[in-house]
């Protein structure tokens, strides 16, 4: 007589799935923190370069691809054609 296949152990399956999810969340959290540190370094470097050129980095452009730059009474976006005197 052939033995019946064992039913899947749902408790173990759920535990394995949860630990895999927790590991993935921890990995994504680490990557997010590293990205935030990189972004802060880049922002500080950008602000320094802009200051040396007499430019201020301001708010996001409506194109969504860059921050607006302010210099000598003019706001401009380096990614699109937006320019506006202020
Ligand atoms: Zn733009």
pLDDT of residue 12: 78
Q: Are residues 60 and 49 in the same domain?
A: no
Beta-carbon neighbours within 5 Å of ion ligand 1: 61, 63, 77, 79-80, 82
What residue numbers bound the domain in which 66 lies? 55-86
| Ligand 1 geometric centre to CA of 60 (Å) | 8
Residue-wise pLDDT tens for the chain (86 aa)? 566 666 667 777 888 888 999 999 999 999 999 999 999 999 999 999 999 999 999 999 999 999 999 999 999 999 999 999 99
| Ligand 1 geometric centre to CA of 67 (Å) | 7
| Ligand 1 geometric centre to CA of 74 (Å) | 14
Residue 4 lies in a domain: no
Q: Are residues 18 and 39 in the same domain?
A: yes
Overall number of domains in the chain = 2
| Ligand 1 geometric centre to CA of 20 (Å) | 41
Q: Is 46 exposed, middle or buried (0-12, 13-18, 19+ CB in 10 A)?
A: middle
């Amino acid at each position: 007589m052939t033995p019946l296949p064992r039913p899947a152990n749902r408790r173990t399956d759920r535990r394995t799935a949860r630990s895999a999810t927790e590991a993935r969340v921890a990995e994504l959290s680490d990557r997010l923190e590293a990205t935030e540190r990189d972004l802060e370094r880049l922002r500080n470097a950008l602000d320094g370069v802009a200051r040396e050129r007499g430019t201020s980095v301001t708010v996001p452009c409506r194109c969504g691809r860059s921050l607006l730059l302010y210099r000598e009474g003019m706001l401009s976006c380096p990614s699109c054609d937006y320019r506006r005197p202020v």
